[in-house]
Amino acid sequence: MKKILVIEDNAGIRENVTEILELANYKVFTAEDGKTGIELALQEKPDLILCDVMMPQLDGFGVLHLLHKNPAIRNTPFIFMSARAERSEMRKGMELGADDYITKPFEKTELLQAIECRLKRVEWLKQDFVQHEAPVNGNGHANGYSKTTNERDILSLLSENRDITKYKRKQIIYVEGNRPARLYYIKKGKIKTYKTNEEGKELIVGIYGEGDFLGYVALLEGTVYKDRAEAMENTELAVIPKDEFDALMNTRREVVTRFMTMMAKNITEKEQLLLGLAYNSLRKKVADALITVNRKYKSSINLSRENLAAIAGTATASMIRTLSEFKSEKLIDISDGAITILNEKELENLLN
């Protein structure tokens, strides 16, 4: 029988949630404040924790923060329950590492589905770990574990059955200096990462599109974000909690290989960016920016001239002038602001 800890200061809500969970065949422990909740969590080692946000002595954010400091319970699925439905509150909870955020009043089915989803994911991760630790047979595969399963696609492993967060154009995803609590996988849309100097000038250091992972550098380095991420269009992101990502990195060799390769590529791209900014002519900078963005868009480039200039590291006026030159040379075409590359090979030759 799975054990669930309910931390809730409102007696009526606490009793109601307990009744729902017991009818669903869960063993329930309850605490009326955050301090007692942490003591119970350490004592009972629950399979999942439901926690209110606003409580006396220690609020829900404090509870989650302290739980993550204890290795014995830091990976326990954690779901916030709160009457506060403001987006900022939800974002704060998720950034601290919560697995879900349910707003009160909630339906019985909504609560149970959220719990079942988190518990199933934990079981799946445990089974996956056991299978990868199983003895290896003469064919080089774990006994009782098929080659097809063993080579499960990493993208599916990390991106399927995840919470989806939607961002509108120009909405900030994370900011420089914040500590990462999750990995992002782009299901739809495009995102830019950028830095700004003391004068407020923006330099775009990365463009990410559908199928890309975002925010993995800070996670792998164990540091804060060193840039800011912003949606360039309406975007949908699958969210992988840091604890799950860490668990996969500790148990799946192919996941480690994939992200180490991405990390190395990221370093190479940053080095090339710095060299280009330092030594490339204006035409080379613009050509390089167009080729880079075109590989992400895989169609007409529909970016503002300000964003293109920020990618190339040039002034907006210089970008506009160079694009006009490229158009007259029939290297590109421009229609309603969208740029189509007509001669990519010739643009690449400009870089040599």
> Domain containing 99 — which CATH number?
3.40.50.2300
Question: Distance between CA atoms of 352 and 343, rounded to whole angstroms?
Answer: 15
Which residues, given as ranges, of the chain have pLDDT below 70? 124-155, 157, 267-268, 270-279, 297-298
Tell me if 146 is assigned to some domain: no
Tell me if 289 is assigned to some domain: yes
Angle at 121 between CA 115 and CA 124, to 5 degrees: 140
Of 125, 141, 163, the residue at which a domain comes to its end is: 125
Tell me if 195 is assigned to some domain: yes
Residues 242, 319 within the same domain: no
Of 106, 125, 144, the residue at which a domain comes to its end is: 125
Residues 246, 319 within the same domain: no
Tell me if 134 is assigned to some domain: no
Tell me if 131 is assigned to some domain: no
Contact residues for 127 (Cβ-Cβ < 8 A; gap 6+)? none
pLDDT at 271: 66
Structure tokens at 251: 């148990």
- Identify the CATH number of the domain in which residue 305 sits: 1.10.10.10
Question: Distance between CA atoms of 215 and 114, rounded to whole angstroms?
Answer: 25
Tell me if 138 is assigned to some domain: no
User: Are the C-beta atoms of 265 and 242 separated by less than 8 Å?
Assistant: no
Range of the domain at 85: 3-125
Domain total of the chain: 3
Interval 227-236: pLDDT, tens: 999 998 999 9
Of 215, 250, 274, the residue at which a domain comes to its end is: 274
pLDDT at 98: 83
CA neighbours closer than 13 Å in the CB half-sphere of residue 14: 16
pLDDT at 44: 92
pLDDT at 133: 45
Tell me if 133 is assigned to some domain: no
pLDDT at 259: 81
Angle at 100 between CA 44 and CA 22, to 5 degrees: 45
Residues 255, 306 within the same domain: no
Residues 169, 235 within the same domain: yes
Residues 105, 45 within the same domain: yes
Residues 158, 268 within the same domain: yes
Maximum distance among all Cα pairs of the chain, rounded to whole angstroms: 74
Residues 285, 270 within the same domain: no
Tell me if 206 is assigned to some domain: yes
Residues 166, 262 within the same domain: yes
